[in-house]
Amino acid sequence: MRAVQQHRSRQDCSVATSIGAYEFCEAPLSPSGRELDEAKRLIEERFAIVGVLERPEETLEVIRCRLPWAAASASALPHDAATAQSWTYPVTLQLDSAAMRRATALEDRLYALANSLLSADVECCRKARRRAMPA
């Protein structure tokens, strides 16, 4: 997302949505199709591994497969011990599904890409492991 947004400034914000005490700039954060395609291309081409927080075991499986020198230490993700529920929020958050969809539209598309890449990598690593097994 940073690659898409880096050339834009807060002053460009013409449409803002507030959720509690937080304000999201909608218009500038809605990249053109070309910009989103470029961000996706960069993710696909420049990252050896794309993990997904909700899929820790599969992410670790791909880390062990793609980075065999790190396999021994790749036993848990660093954020596994995080306890977001214990954080004190400065405001009471209100559920506003439409505002949340607008505020996270870019992330949702990139999240779908990350899931797709992880699924393909898991399958590739499993095939490679099966081929390497003695018959």
Is position 119 within any domain?
A: yes
CA 9, CA 43: separation in Å to the nearest integer?
Answer: 23
Find out whether 118 and 51 touch, Cβ atoms under 8 Å.
yes
Is position 72 within any domain?
A: yes
Distances (CA, A) of 31 to 34, 117, 130: 8, 21, 41
Residue 114, domain extent: 31-76+92-132
Q: What is the 3-state secondary structure (H, E, C) of 46-69?
A: HCCCCCCCCCHHHHHHHHHHHCHH
**Nearest to 19, CA basis, from 87, 84, 98:** 98
Is position 36 within any domain?
A: yes
Is position 59 within any domain?
A: yes
The one-digit pLDDT tens for each residue of the chain (135 residues) are 333 333 334 445 555 666 666 666 655 455 677 888 888 999 999 998 999 989 999 999 999 898 887 766 666 665 555 555 555 656 666 778 888 887 788 888 899 999 999 999 999 999 998 998 886
Q: Is the pTM of this model over 0.85?
A: no
Is position 20 within any domain?
A: no
Is position 112 within any domain?
A: yes
Is position 2 within any domain?
A: no
